[in-house]
Amino acid sequence: MKEYRTCTCHEISLKEVGKKVRIAGFVQSIRDFGGLVFLDIRDMYGITQVVTSGKEEDVDFASHIPLESSVTVYGEVKKRDEETINPKLKTGFVEIRIEEIKILGKRTKNLPFEVNSMQEIREDLRLQYRFLDLRNNKLKNNLILRAQVLQFLRNEMIEQGFLEVQTPILTSSSPEGARDYLVPSRLHAGKFYALPQAPQQFKQLLMVSGIDKYFQIAPCFRDEDARADRAPGEFYQLDMEMAYATQEDVFDVIEPVIYNTFKKFSNKQITTYPFPRISYQEAMLKYGTDKPDLRNPLHIIDLSEFFSKCTFEPFIHKTVRAICVKRHLSKGFHEKLLQYALSIGMKGLGYLEVQEDLSFKGPIDKFIPNDLKSELLTLAKLEKEDTIFFIADNNKRATELAGQIREELGKRLELIDYNVFSFAWIVDFPMFEEDEHGNLAFSHNPFSMPQGGIQALNTKNPLDILAYQYDIVCNGIELSSGAVRNHDIEIMLKSFTMAGYTEEEVKTKFGALYTAFQFGAPPHAGIAPGIDRMLMLLTHSDSIREVIAFPLNSKAQDLMMGAPSQVKRQQLRDVHIQLDLK
């Protein structure tokens, strides 16, 4: 068959008319017209139509090939008849007249679902047969985009002088915010490795080692519950760290990388850098979240002090947040929004409408003294035809609920511009917070440098101390988290002591950093944008699983490979483990 040139499906064009070619791929469809059989052959790159020459044996053979079987076709490229041209396909002006067709891999089982179906398929079925699901053009294109983005990110970092360094997968367990995945040791009975939640300690140790600028496409492993934007088990990030760097240095490096990536792989409008900066405190008040969707123009205001002067019992001694909408809304809208409010745990949703004469109409109007109504107009910057919603609870809960109502209003009122990627920095995170037991705990990254250094730790109220911590957010998703790192042993010990650790615990849990910081560690800072989340945004996917080749499901199971699974007793004995399934 030397006279046949091997081609991919997308290469077949009018230039090849009259030439003999060979293609290979999956049979996507078969159309039997009696004397002629047309087949669409799909490979990684496109689709080509092939047609039988009219021989009875060829017609019978071609018409009975199971769909999604692998075949190879030899034949001559012909120009299609005018009435059969398909301008939607790159190969739609030509076809291959079959001279020989061979089945290379025959499908012998019924398809669990139609590949490239326009109908919605159950996700558990898609994940069980992921090798079929990945034949879908959308998922295939997502994987191609993923490869292109990874290559682009590498080039961007290398051009800025960063060195790619791989860090270990087997490491020690450390308290970094999520549950570790543990790996038992065969050689050291009763001891365990942990899969890294992130290369956090290793990247800092590289800075102590004198590696000036480090990066890698880093796998991270966390035993966390799944969300739409979080994969259980494993995810990837563009991990980077710089020695002798400040917060501003990190911003200067990563902003063009993020901007250039989204500019290259998207046609949407993108926030130009430098990205806006919003303090954590402002974000929580104004948007009700530390990952605000800035495409939504609605803002939250605090009216707690105002309502302390009113007689509405549910608002007394409560944090009261409000959201103003520049329109009157229908009774049906209010009823549906109330149902949403009840579904997220609110006891109700008060509102007022501003009338033509600037008077109020609504359920709580009678509880606002007349002499205070003009003050409310001024405080909330209300105008005629406006509607204002009220959310009241304790401070933490009111903040959270107001953020959810703001987000829901933005969607229901169609205020969100879906043709925009809106980036911002969230900065000045608190160093500490109180946990559910009233104890002091790290609020963000425990390896962060407190603003004000040791003096702040020694003299300030711990809950007032800010840290050099920062997140990049985009369209309501936390894309990246980073910090100026704590490199000073005195500050490290002091901050961990305040969070309830003894020096001995710090030595045990973070021994390498504890030791390394006593050998002239340089100041350093870094960040780690989430690659899966970037791709989720770029592909407009609703779930992060759509941009991962072989993801776990929402219950952290691999339905295709059957993981997690039981293992043989001998395997457990080898690693000194005895199960107690009670």
Predicted confidence band at 233 (pLDDT cuts at 50, 70, 90)?
confident
Query: Helix, strand, or coil here: 305?
Result: helix
Of how many residues is the chain composed? 582
Angle subtended at Cα 319 by Cα 315 and Cα 321, rounded to the nearest 5 degrees: 90
* pLDDT tens for each residue of 402-442: 999 999 999 999 999 999 999 999 999 999 998 888 889 99
What is the C-alpha to C-alpha distance for residues 207 and 250, in angstroms, rounded to an integer?
14
Cα separation of 314 and 331, whole Å? 23
Compute the average pLDDT of residues 320-342.
94
Check whether 475 has a pLDDT greater than 90. Answer: yes
User: Residue 312: phi, psi to the nearest 5?
Assistant: -80, 105
Question: What is the three-class DSSP state of 404?
Answer: helix
Across the chain, mean pLDDT equals 93
Please calculate the CA angle 58-43-553 and round it to the nearest 5 degrees.
125
Beta bridge partners, 384, equal none
pLDDT at 465: 95
How far is residue 224's CA from residue 217's CA, in Å, rounded to a whole number? 21
| CA proximity to 103, closest of 33, 30, 44, 160 | 30
Q: What is the pLDDT of residues 494-507, one digit of tens each?
A: 999 999 899 998 88
pLDDT of 1 > 60? The answer is no
d(CA 292, CA 476): 5
Predicted confidence band of residue 176 (pLDDT cuts 50, 70, 90)? low
Backbone angles phi, psi at 273, to 5 degrees: -95, 155
Percent of the chain with pLDDT over 70: 99
Residue 373 parent element (H or E): helix 370-379
The tokens for 203 are 């990247």
360, β-bridge pairs: 354
Spell out the residues 6+ positions from residue 71 whose beta carbon is closer than 8 angstroms to its own. 24, 25, 26, 27, 41, 65, 101, 102, 103, 104
- State the amino acid at position 435 in one-letter form: D
Task: Output the CA torsion 394→395→400→405 (10° steps).
Answer: 80
Secondary structure element (H or E) that encloses residue 151, with its range: helix 137-159
Give the span between the Cα atoms of 380 and 389, in whole angstroms: 11
Residue 414 confidence (pLDDT): 96
Residue 509 pLDDT: 85
The tokens of 130 are what?
């992921």
Beta-ladder partners of 236: 219
Evaluate if residue 224 carries a pLDDT over 70. Answer: yes
Residue 48, burial from CB neighbour count under 10 angstroms (0-12, 13-18, 19+): buried
How far are the Cα atoms of 6, 66, 77 from residue 71, in angstroms, in the given order? 13, 10, 17
- Does 531 or 311 have the greater pLDDT score? 531
pLDDT at residue 209, rounded to an integer:
97
Angle, CA 319 vertex, CA 313 and CA 325 arms, to 5°: 95
The reported pLDDT for the residue numbered 582 is 67
User: Smallest Cα–Cα separation from 239: which of 225, 221, 220?
Assistant: 220
- The one-letter amino acid at 472: I
Q: Which helix (H) or strand (E) holds 98?
A: strand 94-105
> 3-class DSSP state for residue 6?
strand
Say what the pLDDT of residue 206 is: 97
Residue type, 459: T
Contact between 134 and 535 under an 8 Å Cβ cutoff? The reply is: no
Candidates 303, 301, 265; CA nearest to 141 is 265
pTM (predicted TM-score): 0.92
Q: Across residues 551-576, what is the average pLDDT?
A: 91
- For the chain, how big is the Rg over CA atoms in Å? 30
- Is the pLDDT at 347 greater than 80? The verdict is yes
**Cα(253)–Cα(122) distance, integer angstroms:** 42
Q: Which of 289, 132, 296, 258 is nearest to 537 (CA)?
A: 258
End-to-end CA distance of the chain: 65
Sheet strands (E) in 339-383: 350-354, 360-361
Q: Using the predicted structure, report yes or no on whether residue 2 has a pLDDT greater than 80.
A: no
At 9-51, the pLDDT tens digits run 888 888 888 899 999 999 999 998 878 899 999 999 999 999 9
Instruction: List, in sequence order, every residue forming a beta bridge with 467; answer none if it has no partner.
Output: 450
